[in-house]
Amino acid sequence: MKKITSATVLLIIISTCLISCQKEKLAPNVITQEFNAVKFRQQIANFLSAGSSTARGYSIVVNKGGNWVDTFSFGWAYRNPTGGSYANMHVNQEINMASVSKTITAVGALQLLKKNNLTIDSTIGRWLPSYWNAAAAIRNITFGELLTHSSGISESATTYDSLKATVARGLDNPLKPLGVYANSNFSLFRAMIPYLADRNAAIAKENAMLPNTTGFETWLSQEYVKYMQANVFTPIGIANATCTPSANTAMAFNENTGGPVDAVITAVNGDWLNASGGGGYYLSVMEVARFQAYLAHTDILLDQTQRSLMNSKLLGWDNGVSPMTKKGQAYGKNGALYWDLNNDNVPNAGEAGLQTFIMQFPNKIEVTLAVTSIPGTFRTFAGMVNNAYNISWENK
């Protein structure tokens, strides 16, 4: 048997250390990256000031890991059209969040699907008011089809008269192509959420109030807002979320390029209570950023299974505004309103408007944005924000 001396043992130890050190020396350097929130926000601000016009007012909130890490505001929130009083835009300024309201409605809808042991493949017929006399094709629409704009409905008007006419006539496109954007898809939840929350109570109310359809439909709207407050807003610390503007609600402006600053056109937002579901929540950018943080990082609004379903199926997100970033998939939602002063159904230079935008990025980053003016056609945010996100990762 070969005898192992202490010198041999020492040699083995030294050799092992040398090999280990050599491996460590030869290992490639690991480059880690850190997200620069200030750079990200600045890229967005630069975009809003570039080109032939500058936004009249805007606010940006950037979240990281469920906490806001950077904010920035510029310009006007509202002003007296005849001069005098005005206010600067800020992150706690209430503004009509337009179609960003659809993402909020989607959360309420997913909560109630779970409560009723339904899935996104369940059909909606049982949850519509009976006196609407919905066509069979409408009754057979699934919740998932509404939440992804693939229902075959193409109606953009959101009043109750429009909704009733829409469901009575049947599908506008029986082929149900994906992504035919229609506000009615989400406005229908204004009528259905009271039934999903308590079907027996809604049926009893319907029977008791008819033929007073106006009163009953206002009750439906109030119940929708009541459910959303109790189950979406109150649990995350947002009080009195409403679809009715206040005296201090941000206005919409034009950008009137080349003209004097006092030549802007202002538009006062109306009461959206009976047109809500797909738009019309009056919230601040900071409140919507709070909603995003709780949605993305906690189980308070939706559990992990529900969140994964919402993201994978783009329920309440825009298909064309949910890009692939350098870090993975993002999920986004656009909102926009304009006041069609020349009645051509197209936003033009000189007309008043506003835009809102949210996006959830990989690596626990979210952005919330509201702009109080349009330069004519709407700004395209998705590509710009995606690029800003990609270039805001820096080597440590």
Q: Which pLDDT score, from 0 to 100, does residue 357 have?
A: 98
Which CATH code for domain 34-395? 3.40.710.10
Mean pLDDT, residues 145-155 taken together:
97
Q: Which pLDDT score, from 0 to 100, does residue 17 have?
A: 41
Q: In Å, what is the CA distance from 155 to each residue of 135, 160, 173, 187? A: 15, 12, 11, 10
Domain boundaries of the chain, sorted by first residue: 34-395
Residues 6 or more apart from 18 whose CB is under 8 A from it?
none
Average pLDDT, the chain: 89
pLDDT digits (tens, 9 = 90+) for 22-62: 444 444 555 689 999 999 999 999 999 876 678 999 999 99
pLDDT digits (tens, 9 = 90+) for 240-282: 999 999 888 999 988 865 555 555 677 777 899 999 999 999 9
Q: Which pLDDT score, from 0 to 100, does residue 396 have?
A: 84
Confidence of residue 71 (pLDDT cuts 50, 70, 90): very high
Q: Which pLDDT score, from 0 to 100, does residue 9 have?
A: 32
- In the predicted structure, residue 13 carries a pLDDT above the cut 80: no
Q: Which pLDDT score, from 0 to 100, does residue 349 have?
A: 78
Burial (CB count within 10 angstroms: exposed 0-12, middle 13-18, buried 19+), residue 175: exposed
**Strand arrangement, sheet containing 266-267:** 266-267, 252-254, 373-374
Q: Which pLDDT score, from 0 to 100, does residue 6 have?
A: 37
- In the predicted structure, residue 2 carries a pLDDT above the cut 80: no
Q: Which pLDDT score, from 0 to 100, does residue 227 have?
A: 98
Burial (CB count within 10 angstroms: exposed 0-12, middle 13-18, buried 19+), residue 327: middle
Mean pLDDT, residues 179-195 taken together:
96
**Better pLDDT: 294 or 320:** 294
Mean pLDDT, residues 111-120 taken together:
98
Alpha-carbon span 169 to 174, nearest angstrom? 12
Say what the pTM is: 0.90
Highest mean pLDDT among 4-18, 224-238, 261-275, 331-345: 224-238
Residues linked to residue 60 through DSSP beta bridges, in sequence order: 72, 369
Q: Which pLDDT score, from 0 to 100, does residue 81 have?
A: 63
Contact 16, 10 (CB under 8 A): no
Alpha-carbon span 107 to 105, nearest angstrom? 5
